[in-house]
Chains A and B, each alone.
Chain A
């Protein structure tokens, strides 16, 4: 469970509610089903126009990812690659073959399999980088849909407000209903802005950061696999991979990995 997303979403709504309550208005004033239909569902269906059915239906899985704890465990990855590098230098590249089955990371497995088969370093790099690129593209296309929802919602909010105002202007004779009708008309704008600013924009930012982190880990793996193939010294490999970590983590991992 990703605590920070939870705190963020709950905190955003909490503060808005707190603001409403402390302003002395009842929360139910802000509840309006027709507005929900126009803004939330209306903009959601806009996504079908924007993207594919699969991506639009899958947007909830994408959003769900932001609530999942993501730990790529860079430390274990560095340790693992260094162990392999040591083994390769002690017993030769072919000795890595028996270690491949214990690996749970498909990406590294694929790379090392190529290395053991004696593939050119250039080709190994190419294949792994292509796979990384494809992963990034998949992520970008999913993030785009979340972004789009955040873009459409305020627009639909505007639209709902205009609908409400038109309805109100039709019945200008009834002066007593002017205020309440106007209020209901503005609720859609509120919902639109809420969907965008409290949910979609933060979520899409989170997803972009997750994509960047995962890409970094994959880059570390590529660097590691190629380093093993080139027969680099395990310590050098460790140092190379440590540069990918931020200084704080680096210190902690360094003490553990390069202790000898």
Chain B
């Protein structure tokens, strides 16, 4: 799970495997596979760094199915 911050300052953890796309409009906006839209305070680069960091931590590519 990666940590993000909602616009109202709430911490929020989301599952990066469920992200469909990221948009800058100009807030960083996640479009999730479920159709849910989540807007966060972090910049896109921060988010991507966290995803990479998370993937590094869990290692195995077997989770990529």
Contacts A116-B7, A122-B36, A231-B27 known; 8 new A-B pairs at CB < 8 A: A89-B26, A90-B26, A92-B26, A92-B27, A93-B7, A118-B39, A120-B36, A230-B37
Query: When A93-B39, A229-B37, A230-B37 are in contact, do A118 and B7 touch as well, CB less than 8 Å?
Result: yes
User: Across the two chains, which residue of chain B brings its CB closest to A231?
Assistant: B25
> Please, which residues of chain A bring their CB within 8 A of the CB of B7?
93-94, 116-118
The 5 closest A-B pairs by CB, nearest first: A118-B7, A118-B6, A231-B25, A117-B8, A118-B8
Q: Give residues in A with beta carbon < 8 Å to B.
A: 89-94, 116-122, 229-231
Q: Is the CB of B6 within 8 A of A121?
A: no
Knowing A116-B7, A117-B7, A118-B10, the reply to whether A91 touches B26 (Cβ < 8 A) is yes
Q: How far is the CA of A107 from the CA of B39 in the complex (A)?
A: 22
- Tell me if B46 is interfacial: C-beta within 8 Å of chain A: no
Proximity bits, B1-33, A CB within 8 Å = 1, else 0: 000001110100000000000010111010000
Q: Which residues does chain A contribute within 8 Å of B37, judged by CB atoms? A: 121, 229-231
Chain A residues lying within 8 Å of B39, measured Cβ to Cβ, are: 93, 118, 229
Which of B6, B10, B36, B39 has the most A CB atoms < 10 Å from its CB?
Answer: B39
User: Which residues on the A side are within 8 Å of B25 (C-beta)?
Assistant: 89, 231
CA distance A173 to B56 in the complex (A): 112
- Chain B interface residue bracket vs A: 10 to 19
Interface SS majority for chain B: strand
Report if A231-B10 is in contact (Cβ < 8 Å); known contacts: A93-B39, A118-B39: no
Q: Mark B21-62, 1 if CB is under 8 A from A, else 0.
A: 001011101000000110100000000000000000000000
Which chain B residues border A116 with CB–CB below 8 Å? 7-8
List B contacts of A231 (CB < 8 A): 23, 25, 27, 29, 37
State the CA gap A116–B36 with chains docked (Å): 17
Give Cα A94–Cα B10 distance, bound, in whole angstroms.
14
- B60–chain A nearest beta-carbon distance, Å: 32
> Which residues of the other chain, B, contact A94 by a CB distance below 8 angstroms?
7, 27
* Whole-angstrom CA separation of A229 from B6 in the bound complex: 13
Residues of B close to A90: CB separation below 8 A = 26
A93 vs B8: C-alpha distance when bound (angstroms): 11
Q: List 7 A-B contacts (CB under 8 A).
A: A89-B25, A91-B26, A93-B39, A94-B27, A121-B37, A229-B37, A231-B37
Instruction: Give, as a whole number of angstroms, the nearest-CB distance from A180 to chain B.
Output: 77
Please give, as numbers and ranges, the residues of chain B lying within 8 Å of A230 by CB-CB distance: 37
Chain B residues within 8 Å of A122, by CB: 36
Q: How far is A133 from B39 in the complex, measured between Cα atoms in Å?
A: 28
Bound: A90/B27 CA distance, A: 9
In the bound complex, residues from chain A placing their C-beta under 8 Å from that of B6 are 118
In the bound complex, CA of A119 to CA of B6 (Å): 9
B36 cross-chain contacts in A, Cβ below 8 A: 120-122
- The chain B residue with its CB closest to the CB of A118 is B7
* CA distance in complex: A120, B34 (Å): 13
B36 to chain A, nearest CB (A): 7
